[in-house]
Amino acid sequence: MSSYSRWVTMVALCLSASAIFFIPFISEIYYVPMQNAFHFNNTQMGMLMSIFGATSMLAYFPGGWLADKFSPRRLMSVALLICGGAGFYFAALPSYFICLVIYGLWGACISLVFWSAMIKATREWAPSDEQGRAFGILESGRGAGDVLTGTIVGAVFIWLGSDVFAFTQVVNLLAATCILFAVIVWFALEKRAVNYTDQEKNKVNLHDIIEVIKIPEVWLIAIVILASYTCYWGGFYFAKFATDAFAMGIAMGVVIGTAKTWINPIAPLIAGFLGDKIGISRSVFSLLALMVVSFFILGIMPYGPNYLTVMLLTMAVTAFGLYALRGIYFALFEEGGIPLKITGTAAGIVSVIGFMPDIFMPYIGGVIFDAYPDEQGYRYLFFIVSAICVIGATAAYIILRRSMKREAL
């Protein structure tokens, strides 16, 4: 693959990943506008994402198997088409039951068809000693896509009046973006990201899967990702947090939620290159330790307009950490000794556990916010995130120690 084709592939991976995840996670920035459009309470909003998470969890493992059988080009294009089509239906403001079905479809489609194919294509994109920067570039590129998309649709939302009509047009725009990138991925990616010289040698079999399951790092990585992804869900509510706890308007909440994504292109890139220099596991441990402290601070600090600067600075540091983690935790595969040919299957196994916060965090958040509509709900949520990060940091430290022992042999 030429250098030009290689970078075209990476750009397509980055922007398509941004497009397909933006639409089901629209409530991250447009939580209150979505509530106003559908008249859902917090528990109903949380249940939508829990359904997304449940279908995702069921689909991750078979999705890994699919990624080892079919080309990323084909799988990713199909997933983008399906998610975009469902997005147009969602923009029509259907019933709550239909919304649950749509979120279930999004979860199954992204995890079964798209996710592991993207992970495998990214790992194939770089040699073994550049895995940190490969996944860092992927997450940074996804972040750049989020910034571009978020800024454009945010401007459209405000320009159209920040009302229900504006929200529906934002959804239509995001759905059209998915369809567009389905076409781009089809032409940008090669039929196979890697041309295997010996197909039989690289064929995935039951023995390979059992051997991967026996690797302790597989389960430790899963715990690390679970904690890291819990951080993401803590940050998911930042726009709502700013609106509720700091008396900001809906439009300003959207601005803050969008501004948070501007950190996304920077943090993973820094983490990726730094991880290749000092070690991925060491970097992950340090970042999770930072998350323990930052979410604890968000839980104990005073709320209100007088503390706006402290809140914004703490949120910025927290956003840097959670986006940096997302950029490098899959690079732990190389330190864990997971064979390249079975990366899709390994990613599926790890993702089943690692992305379980998609199931329990939105539901917990919805229940907490309905039970404690004042600032106390946010304190409970941030304390939960901080506690889970302690577990993740412990797992990352164990990976680091095991890696150091192997290098000493």
349-382 confidence digits (pLDDT tens): 888 899 899 888 988 998 998 898 888 999 999 9
Residue 363 covered by a domain: yes
Q: What is the pLDDT of residue 199?
A: 47
Q: What are phi and psi of 93, to 5 degrees?
A: 55, 60
What average pLDDT does the chain have? 86
With H, G, I as helix, E, B as strand and everything else as coil, classify residue 199. coil
Helix (H) or strand (E) segment spanning residue 97: helix 96-109
Q: Are 268 and 47 in contact (CB under 8 A)?
A: no
What are the C-alpha distances in Å from 29 to residues 24, 79, 170, 309? 11, 23, 12, 20
**For residue 127, is it within any domain?**
yes
pLDDT at 200 over 50: no
Residue 196 falls within a domain, yes or no? Answer: no
Q: With cut-offs at 50, 70 and 90, classify the pLDDT of residue 205.
A: low
For 271, the token pair is: 């983490």
User: pLDDT tens, 297-306?
Assistant: 999 999 988 8
Q: Can you say whether the dihedral through the CA atoms of 34, 149, 329, 1 is positive or negative?
A: positive
> Which pLDDT score is estimated for 409?
67
What's the confidence (pLDDT) of residue 196? 43
Q: Which CATH number belongs to the domain containing residue 181 in this structure?
A: 1.20.1250.20
Determine, yes or no, domain membership for 202. no
For residues 215 and 194, the model is more confident at: 215
Closest CA to 317 of 403, 197, 231: 231
Task: Render 278-293 in DSSP notation, one character per residue.
Answer: H-HHHHHHHHHHHHHH
The total of other beta-carbon atoms located within 10 Å of residue 180's CB is 15
For residue 222, the enclosing domain spans 3-191+207-408
pLDDT at 198: 44
Token pair of 277 as six digits: 């220099």
**Amino acid making up residue 389:** C
Residue-wise pLDDT tens digits, 88-142: 999 999 999 999 999 999 999 998 999 888 988 888 777 767 777 788 788 888 8
**Rounded-to-integer distance, Cα 321 and Cα 333, Å:** 20
Residue 338: is its pLDDT beyond 80?
Answer: no
Helix 42-67 vs helix 116-125: crossing angle, to nearest 10: 50
Out of 12-21, 284-293, 344-353, give the one with best mean pLDDT: 284-293
Residue whose tokens read 């279908």: 55
* Number of structural domains in the chain: 1
pLDDT digits (tens, 9 = 90+) for 209-253: 787 788 888 899 999 999 999 999 999 888 888 888 887 777 777
In a domain, 197, yes or no: no
Q: Is position 397 within any domain?
A: yes
pLDDT at 20: 94
**Structure tokens that stand for 353 in this block:** 């556990």
Residue 338 belongs to some domain of the structure: yes
Measured from the Cβ of residue 240, the count of other Cβ atoms closer than 10 Å reads 24
In contact, 159 and 277? CB cutoff 8 Å: no
Is residue 151 over pLDDT 60?
yes
* 98 found inside a domain: yes
pTM confidence score: 0.74
Reported as type and span, the H/E element at residue 142 is helix 131-159
Confidence of residue 143 (pLDDT cuts 50, 70, 90): confident
Query: What is the SS3 assignment for 205?
Result: coil
User: If you average pLDDT over residues 174-202, what whole number do you get?
Assistant: 73
Higher pLDDT among residues 405 and 249, named by residue: 405
